[in-house]
Structure 1
């Protein structure tokens, strides 16, 4: 049932790029590194199952998720979906002007940043409740500030950053499907200063 998920996928089709701009679809993709049904995803993200199902079909249509099996739940048969990759990179070869691609990259990244931040907040609140019940919750946080002199330097930093993390993931990824799962989120954005301006 479970299929191999790519560490990264180069998005070269405009319809796939457009699908990634939707924050809810980005959230769904982020949670589909393991097989799940529409009902299961809806519970996780506090959404209506019909809405999640609609977005799953849209993501499947453009090839970003695939059906990987079914399971019986009471009298219903649930379809299980899985994302094709953990991270998505917009290609420079998309048939759009470079300015449009850059704008979509920025908008898509910001939408995903908001969605990821909301997910982290929800997950942290659940884990805090477990921690209050004397359950040990292992976690780690890295918060760093870096000054990058140009857009080229920024792109090079992000590319090397992703490669290093992917190597770490591959090195420590357990083949045991029963092993504990940990969520890893990477983000890079301009540091806001007071008044909403970027630093």
Structure 2
């Protein structure tokens, strides 16, 4: 049986369109275990031919995969499996080729975008624990600073990195609950040259 990812980042407009189609989204949610079009159709109260059509479109878009076959009397059923349990629409989906090229040329901005998508992915995965009634301890901080010039910016970043390094080292343990710590510094959009 093929593996299923925990989270998949949708980067193509074609995949996003498939995912956002109401019936196809519902089909994907039923395919966390291998199933045939007939089984999914029964669960959704739809004709098997209609579900089979949509499953093939999802397969063509790369959102479902074949997971084997099963013999039912004189019929061979194809079993399908979603490629992931959850899907996140990439923040780069709406970007044109020019913007994508500019983003590729800006490594720190690309990293910032990937970090933000990782936070979204982790947040969605943590939502599973809220179904169990567990409180999820988390924290977020957002603030801004004004820095006079390039020299002050470099000094601030050096001090910022050193303070966080010391704080993380103080609480570093081999055992216990591991927490992700993400900090970012970037110019406020529209204020880069102030």
Normalization by structure 1: what TM-score? 0.50
1:2-81 equivalence runs, <5 A: 2-81=1-80
The answer to whether the 8 Å contact 1:7/1:166 transfers is no
Displacement, 1:4?
1.6
| CA deviation after TM superposition for structure 1 residue 161, in Å | 3.2
Gaps of 5+ in 1: 98-154, 170-199
Larger radius of gyration: 2
Residues 159 and 87 of structure 1: CA distance in aligned 2, closer, same or farther (over 3 Å): closer
Alpha-carbon separation, structure 2, partners of 1:56 and 1:39: 11
Size of the alignment, in residue pairs? 111
Q: TM-score with structure 2 length normalisation? A: 0.52
Change (3 A) 1:88 1:76: same
- Quote the Cα distance in structure 1 between the aligned partners of 2:35 and 2:52: 11
Residue matched to 1:161: 123
Q: Are the structure 2 counterparts of residues 12 and 157 from structure 1 closer, same or farther at C-alpha, using a change threshold of 3 Å?
A: closer
Alpha-carbon distance in structure 1 between the residues aligned to 2:118 and 2:28:
25
SS at match of 2:56: helix
SS of aligned partner of 2:92:
coil
Measured after TM superposition, the shift of residue 156 of structure 1 is: 10
Distance 1:72 1:46 in 2: 23
* 1:74 CA drift (Å): 0.7
Gaps of 5+ in 2: 97-116, 132-194
Q: How far is the alpha carbon of 1:48 from its aligned partner?
A: 0.5
Deviations 1:119-158 (A, max 9, x none): xxxxxxxxxxxxxxxxxxxxxxxxxxxxxxxxxxxx9996
